[in-house]
Amino acid sequence: MLSKLLSLLGLAALASAAPLGNHTLTARSFSCSNPVAGLTQSDCQYLSNIGFAGTGSNPHSNNGHIWIGTDGPNTITFHNNAQNPNADVVMVLWDQSHGDSSSFLAANPPVLTISMAYGSSVTVSLANGVSGAWTALYRHVTILTQYGQVYNTWAEFTTGQYATVDISRLVNMGGNQLVAQVSTGCKADNTQCAYVCKSGNACYESGTYSLIGCNQPNSNAYYGGADPEGGCGGWANGGHIDATFL
């Protein structure tokens, strides 16, 4: 497995919360006159307003990587159960195609940006050998950090031989609740198979975070190195996750 310091995402990358050098990213805007399928015009405009580099491409057919549909070897069904009050969200998912800057969405567009009304669901397919993360923007309130990352809780994943999913709270310890339930039983949420800061609201340096609640069946947590690694396994080379926004 990749070290958290070496993998931006995959197995809950520590570097995901770190700035690119010492510079903040300049916000840019884009046109929403013809939004991509699956994204409303108002949600598109919100992404532009808060500084996203662009929207996801939202592919709806098998492209051998990540697409909206049920026909892939790995599937994630996203459920919007956000309450108090009931909330529409924008599901955002990115991969590692931009290397260590992949999670910095002010610099690089994500793969998917899908508008989800309260109570709705959508299924996404992924090939094996893909790493990435997802999160959500709630009620046009969630913003980007000064470095261009979504200021909320993330779920991070790797598919394939070392398939893993975990929850990362390292960017914002006060973020919304996420659940990632693997079909074989292991559950990641804000208190299980979750990466949390030892102190403060955000952290990104080695030794400043912990992996909690990850001694379940089919978990693959590893505590033998300088920093913990892993999360929920049990879906190697093909599986299903129910991902819920709360």
Q: What is the pLDDT along the chain (246 residues), one digit of tens a residue?
A: 333 433 333 333 333 444 333 345 555 679 999 999 999 999 999 999 999 999 999 999 999 999 999 999 999 999 999 988 899 999 999 999 999 899 999 999 999 999 999 999 999 999 999 999 999 999 999 999 999 999 999 999 999 999 999 999 999 999 999 999 999 999 999 999 999 999 999 998 999 999 999 999 999 999 988 899 999 999 999 999 999 999
| pTM for the model | 0.90
**In angstroms, rounded to a whole number, what is the distance separating the alpha carbons of residues 81 and 119?**
6
Note the pLDDT tens digit of each residue in 73-96. 999 999 999 988 899 999 999 999
Which of 92, 181, 106, 189 shows the shortest CA–CA distance to 145?
106
Render pLDDT for 207-238 as a digit per residue (tens, 0 to 9). 999 999 999 999 999 998 889 999 999 999 99
